[in-house]
Amino acid sequence: AQSVTQLGSHVSVSEGALVLLRCNYSSSVPPYLFWYVQYPNQGLQLLLKYTTGATLVKGINGFEAEFKKSETSFHLTKPSAHMSDAAEYFCAVSSNSGYSTLTFGKGTMLLVSP
């Protein structure tokens, strides 16, 4: 069984401030971890993913995330928020066992103020 918890349904930051979106996971096997972004009235776009290897992964639009096995976390960060980052962000987990399904967190809405 696998699950994802995203802390905070809404996060507000000022433009230029650090963005930190929290994600904790539960998985009985080594996880694959993902962050997706959804802009209003659009589908989901992959930001970044962790499968194996380097635990710090870089994605599009200046985002990065670090896989911390000991903390079962995969937090998403960006050093400086931009107005265009306002969107909903979803953390998700699967595994490398065959056709493992993808389990999503409930999402975090990022609000960016000028």
Note whether 9 binds other proteins by CB under 8 A: yes
Note whether 99 binds other proteins by CB under 8 A: yes
Note whether 51 binds other proteins by CB under 8 A: yes
At which residue do the structure tokens 């929290």 appear? 22
Environment class of 72 (CB within 10 Å of its CB; exposed 0-12, middle 13-18, buried 19+)? middle
Note whether 59 binds other proteins by CB under 8 A: no
Q: What is the dihedral of CA 29, 27, 105, 114, to 10 degrees?
A: -80
| Residue closer to other proteins, measured from CB, 4 or 81 | 4
Taking the complex as a whole, the smallest distance from the CB of residue 104 to other proteins amounts, in Å, to: 4
Note whether 61 binds other proteins by CB under 8 A: no
Determine the Cα–Cα distance for residues 85 and 24; give it in Å rounded to an integer.
Answer: 22
| Residue closer to other proteins, measured from CB, 73 or 103 | 103
Note whether 57 binds other proteins by CB under 8 A: no
Show Cβ contacts of residue 103 under 8 Å, excluding neighbours closer than 6 positions.
2, 3, 4, 92, 93, 94
Note whether 2 binds other proteins by CB under 8 A: no
